Structures are given as structure tokens and as C-alpha cells.
Chains A and B, each alone.
Chain A
Amino acid sequence: MIIAEQKTLEEIKQIVAGYNKLLVVGCGTCVTVCFAGGEKEVGILASELRMARQMDGQQLETVERTIQRQCEWEFVDQLKDAIEDCDAILSMGCGVGVQGLAERFPTKVVLPALNTKGMALTVQEGLWAERCAGCGNCVLDKFGGVCPIARCSKSLQNGPCGGSVNGKCEIDPEIDCGWQLVYDRMKAINMLDKLYEVQEIKDWSTARDGGPRRINREDLRL
């Protein structure tokens, strides 16, 4: 799923400064699961912002809504009735959600409340870790199901570099060395010999480097 975390209250206060009636919109999918922008967080942030405004001796009116997904028009359209008399929309969705709202309501100011961090796995309650970099050309078959692009700090395809010590990455003892994980997995599935091959230079044109990406499925379009 997509993981995100809330910007600091200070930053959000500055982002919404000057708007007096805010529509705070949560998203019921990824950011609900990672406790960043679901219905609960909408309630908390709206309350925080109202109180923060009061502390400055001013008033802020908030309308709270949470839709199932900010990245699909059928859900976004449910906000139509709520946006009319709001000065601005504060989206608690990921970067896609913010843009979904902005695209659907072209004359409305849409502001972000979250920082989107990427595609991740819930490792345990309260801990999420990036697993996919969306390079557009999956190589997981070559690395035993551990992605060196996403999990090696240098995205090495012929790692590990000289900074791998005790299974940890040189940049942070909290980060596992992606290549130690690749190595261990390949060993466990009896495929170590695969790692003897030099991986050729990657074609990054399928990644963001090739420009904004889209998928067009003619068989699905009406």
C-alpha cells in the first residue's frame, strides 16, 4: 500500500493560513490503514486546527469528510455537495489523492496535509517499510523476491557494496542491508549461483526517468 505521514502541525497551520472554512477530506484506503489520513485522523487534525486558530484569537470552521478513495472519481464526486461554501480543501490523502481532488474541482484550492513516503509493507503494528520503488520493470525473479532497487540505499544491482556489515546498511544501523537480504534469500532457495551473473545496466526509461507514466488498457476503456 501507499504509506504517508502527517506534516507537522506548524506546517499545516501555515498551509491553511488565510482560509476560514476548510473541507478536511480523509481517504478510506491506504492512509487509513497507516493511520495518517483516515476518518479518525481527519477528526483529530480538524480539532487541532480549530484549536490552533483559537489560540491565535481567530476562528476556523471545518467540515470533515472521508471518502473511500481520493484516487477514484466515483468517490471524489461524493464531495460535490460539501465543497461549495468551503474556502479550500485540505486533503489527507496521498499525493495521488490531493491531485485527484484538484483535478476534479479545478476552481478549488486543494492543499496537502500529508507527506507521501512510498509503497510499503506493514512490518508490524506501527511500522511500515518501503518495499517497491515502482521502477516499471520488475526484477524480483532475479533477486529471490527482495528488491535491490528499493531496499539497497544505492539501488545496486550487483551488490553488496563495501558498507554492508552484520546485515546492516552503512547509512543507518536501523536499515537492513538489502543485499544481505537478497543473499540470504538466494541461499535459502538454492539459487546463489544466479548471483554470480553480472546484472547488465538497467533500462530506467520504464521508471519515472522516462517521464510520467500511464497505463492505457484499450480492452477496459469504454
Chain B
Amino acid sequence: MKAGSNLERVLEAGHFAVTAELGPPKSADAKVIHDKAETLKGNCDAVNITDNQTAMVRMSSIAAGTIALQHGLDPVIQMTCRDRNRICMQSDLLGAYALGVRNVLCLSGDHQRFGNHPQAKNVYDVDSMQLIRMVKNMRDEKKFQCGEAIKVEPRFFIGAAANPFADPFEFRPIRLGKKVAAGADFAQTQLVYNVEKFINFMEIVRKMGIHEKIYILPGVGPIKSGKAAEMMATTVPGLEVPDEIVQRMKKAEDPKAEGISICLEIIDRVRQIPGVAGIHIMAIEWEKAVPDIVQRAGLLPRPVIEVVEEPQEPPAQKPA
């Protein structure tokens, strides 16, 4: 075990893993996290806590992750390179680990142009690849990026993002391979709607043997409406929604139900692709759909893996 997180244990045991996304609120309201955590509890092996997603100011992912921990969830803290330099990143990693967080997903981060503070200065001291390596070296070499030793090292299960739908396509598997070389343990992908393209991507990944070195969890997610489908298809760079899906969503009498049906069909298809280790459900601001999806996909109950060794740090206190 590298970190001993629930996600790592589930994947190591060879189970088909399910992760979900939990978006922190644009406020200081802890109740939002408590409610979402309760919804997701028992329906996934780990929850990704987004880090100021789309460059909108939201509650800190580490703080929200700590609240999720109180509910017995295994948080995957997302960390972007947009807002922190290497000093702050390492400091936050130490803090997150001390609070009981065991997974981190290393991301470049959406450019601030998309967010609610487009006039902000960005950082990008480190890129996502370099962040992966930094987290790995902290864990395995017990060293800070500068080379200094760490007495009690943070041991994270390291995640990376992959987008098979961005360009240049032929470089995408190579870039994932680079992330493996940098130290990534698992990868979560951009939302898969174009399953054919994802199958092609995985074929190259398998040829390169990458799937043997990293757990790959394709991103899936229900679309709420025809309008949302159209918007996703046309305005989100690096997201591909085939016209067939847009049309199905637009024609649907009950778009929400149709969105979930499409999602289930995609889960069914990606599960059959060799090298796929699980799924990552991104039901953005629609966490309530997750239990239904997981149940109908036949992915319940989630496995409970006994912890043989006690974690080094006691987990954060549970709520009264």
C-alpha cells in the first residue's frame, strides 16, 4: 500500500471502483458538504473534492474534504496548479495529510479567464506533471521539492487527469504515459460521451502497456437537459458530446431520466473495455443522481475492505 486510502484498497483488491464528485459550495456553508456527503455515502469508494472548479471561488477542497472525512467518505483532494506555487502546494499537502486525507488528484486547473475572477494573476509555478512527481517524491523519497528531508512524509495515492478528447489525439496516451512516469497511481478522465473515441484511446493505452501501471477511471456523468447537452457540446473546450446524444436529450420527454439512461449505457460500455479499472461519476451539482446511477448500474453494494494496519495518523474527529 502506498497510501492506504479506501480507493487504493478497493483498486488493489481488484474491484471495479466507483468515485464520485463533490463540489464545494460558493459559500462558507458546511451544511452543503454534510448533505452531499450523506447522499454519496455508501455509493462510491472515494469522492473527488473539486478545487475552485472553473476558477470560481468555492470552499477550499481540503476543508470540504475534511468535512467529507467526518462522514466516513474517502476524499480525493483535487489540487490545481493555477492558484498555488510549490511552497503553498507542499504546505497544503502536509496539512491535508495531517487531517486524514489520503488521495490527491493533480490538475493544471481551468484558466482563470473562465471564472469569476478573470483579472486574477495565475501561478503555474509547477505544472500538473511536475506536481505529480513532487507528491510522489514527498511520499517515496521523503523529500521536499528542494531536496530537504521530511520527517513525517505525507503518503498520498496520486491521481492524474487524462483527456482523450483534447488535441492532439495521438499525443494523449503518451501524455498519460508521462504522468505514469511522473508517479501517478490512478487517472480519472474527462467525461466520456464519445465512447468510440475512448475505445480508440484505450487501445493505444493498452498497446503501450500503460493500463498495467495505472488505474484508469473514465469520467461519466448524467446530462440534465437538452440545453445543457447542447452547451456542453459547443462551449466546453476539450469536451466532446456527439450530436446523437444531444438529439436524444433534446427529444426526451423526461430529459433527466434520459440523461441517467444515457449515463448508464455509457457505464455499461466502458466497463467492458479492457484496462478500465472503475468509473468516475461527475454529476455536477446533481450529486443526488449518483445513488440511482450506481444502483442501476449494478455497482452496489460498494466493497468494504478491512483495514489490516492502522493508519499512521488518527482520522479527524467524527461529528457528535
Contacts and interface: CB of A to CB of B under 8 A. Distances in A.
Contact of A163 (B122, B166, B175, B181): B166
A154 B161 contact: no
Interface in B76-93: 81-82, 86
Interface in A169-206: 170-172, 177, 180, 183, 195-202, 204
B113 A171 contact: yes
A159 interface: yes
B134 A158 contact: no
Contacts of B171: 160, 183, 195
Main DSSP-derived SS at the A contact region: loop
Contacts of B175: 158, 160
B129 A163 contact: no
Interface in B160-186: 161-163, 165-168, 171, 174-175, 177-178, 181-182
A26 B178 CA distance: 50
Most buried by B among A156, A166, A172: A156
B127 interface: yes
Interface in B113-146: 113-114, 122, 124-130, 133-134, 145
A165 B167 contact: yes
A68 interface: no
B237 A198 contact: no
Contacts of A200: 130, 133
A153 interface: yes
A56 B175 CA distance: 61
Contacts of B95: none
Contact of A161 (B108, B113, B122, B125): B108
A162 B161 CA distance: 9
Interface residues of B, number: 37
Contact of A167 (B113, B133, B167): B167
Contacts of A168: 237
A15 B197 CA distance: 57
A16 B292 CA distance: 66
B50 interface: no
A165 to B, nearest CB: 5
A157 B175 CA distance: 12
A196 B210 CA distance: 13
Contact of B122 (A154, A177, A183, A197): A154
The 6 closest A-B pairs by CB, nearest first: A162-B163, A158-B129, A170-B237, A162-B238, A171-B113, A156-B127
Interface of A: 153-168, 170-172, 177, 180, 183, 195-202, 204
